[in-house]
Amino acid sequence: MTDTTGQAAFKHRVDDVLRDFVQREIDELLEIDAELAPLAEQLHIATAYGKRLRAAFCYWGWRAAGQPDSDALVRAAAAMELVHAAAVVHDDLIDNSAVRHGLPTAHLALRAATAGSPRPTTAARSLAMLVGDLLMSWAGQLFTTCGLPGAYLSRARPLWAVLARELVAGECLEILHTGGRPDPYTSLKVIRYKTAKYTVEHPLHIGGALAGASGELRAAFSEYGLPLGEAFQLRDDLLGLFGDPARTGKANADDITAHRPTALLAYTWHNAPPHEKQELGRLLGARDLQEDGLRRVREIMHGAGAPARIESMITERIRLAAAVLDHTDLPREAARALADLAQTATVRHH
């Protein structure tokens, strides 16, 4: 990669776009009423973190179609990060998660602002929902005002409807299956629609559509993006339970106390002996799960070979994505960048 499009340099460009855009919008918000300051703080926090992978995939979807570097395109790509920020705020609210990036999640942080309300917890959750809604609105605003010609934007606009529909569908499927009988097929479907598509495939398609990518290239984006997006979420599930909270910024017990339909849990349930399955069933959904209980969950998972199985699935999906790059005629710089992004997205440490 060049100095202007290397991962670190690109991240700085996206960070700059987001910082300036978010600050302008927050200034406008606070002009309405200074009492909105707690929401402004959560909007700052929600947009301040991340590797900017979704923006990078959008950018390289554009470059893979033969288009040159473009500041307007970087602004369009940065809109992908606002979609992600909105999804995270809503996801934390739905899952009742307590920590994100080592900080209280929005619906908890906003309780200080609603302390005088008759129903402070409900009011704080309502404010968090509106923070997420505003972030999603900002995503569309930043995209449509990015500076690219209207004809370019019109090619990509229908894909935003697909992104929203599939993201919401994935979130709804997770809610519908939370607490249910763990099932590998269901877990992988949730992964695909809740995370994989909007993390890799949709950003690539939007960048490609802006650039006028061919149908053949768009198909290659899906063949590369879907397995890679699934590998990304499978890695995230492993880190969620086995990673260091100081590095992941999230609590280890979240998926277990919420009894979420992760692939890690599904393969454990499928392979564990009956007595351990019964024990696991008592631990799932336990709000007061202590460290001993969490350690026992990990032992059952290892005994069932589930973490090793998930690692194997990650490796296979990375291999499939790499094979697409090997067999698709891409500009050399784009091929190299997409290969690097595959590693960044999936090779993360505990």
Alpha helices in the chain (DSSP H): 7-32, 37-47, 53-64, 71-95, 106-109, 120-144, 150-177, 184-191, 202-211, 215-242, 245-248, 254-257, 263-271, 274-283, 291-303, 306-327, 332-346
SS3 for 163-219 is HHHHHHHHHHHHHHHCCCCCCHHHHHHHHHHHHHHHHHHHHHHHHHHHHCCCHHHHH
Which among 238, 269, 266 has a CA at the least distance from the CA of 348?
A: 238
The answer to the question of residue 108 being in a domain is yes
- pLDDT value of residue 343: 94
Domain enclosing residue 71, as ranges: 7-346
The answer to the question of residue 143 being in a domain is yes
The answer to the question of residue 80 being in a domain is yes
The answer to the question of residue 272 being in a domain is yes
| Residue whose token pair is 């069932």 | 304
The answer to the question of residue 319 being in a domain is yes
Q: What's at 67, amino acid-wise? A: Q
| Residue whose token pair is 């650039």 | 211
The answer to the question of residue 1 being in a domain is no
- pLDDT tens for the chain, 350 residues: list them: 344 568 999 999 999 999 999 999 999 999 999 999 999 999 999 999 999 999 999 999 999 999 999 999 999 999 999 999 999 999 999 988 998 988 999 999 999 999 999 999 999 999 999 999 999 999 999 999 999 999 999 999 999 999 999 999 999 999 999 999 999 999 999 999 999 999 999 999 999 999 999 999 999 999 999 999 999 999 999 999 999 888 887 778 888 988 899 999 999 999 999 999 999 999 998 878 889 999 999 999 999 999 999 999 999 999 999 999 999 999 999 999 999 999 999 986 55
- pLDDT value of residue 35: 97
- pLDDT value of residue 3: 44
- pLDDT value of residue 229: 97
CATH classification at residue 99: 1.10.600.10
Q: How far is the C-alpha of 272 from the C-alpha of 126, rounded, in Å?
A: 40
- pLDDT value of residue 251: 79
For the chain, give the longest Cα–Cα distance: 62
DSSP classification of residue 111: T
Q: In angstroms, how far is the first alpha carbon of the chain from the final one?
A: 27
Total count of domains within the chain: 1
The answer to the question of residue 2 being in a domain is no
Q: How far is the C-alpha of 227 from the C-alpha of 230, rounded, in Å?
A: 5
Distances in whole angstroms, Cα of residue 97 to Cα of each of 25, 28, 105, 163, 263: 27, 30, 7, 24, 19
The answer to the question of residue 263 being in a domain is yes
- pLDDT value of residue 5: 60
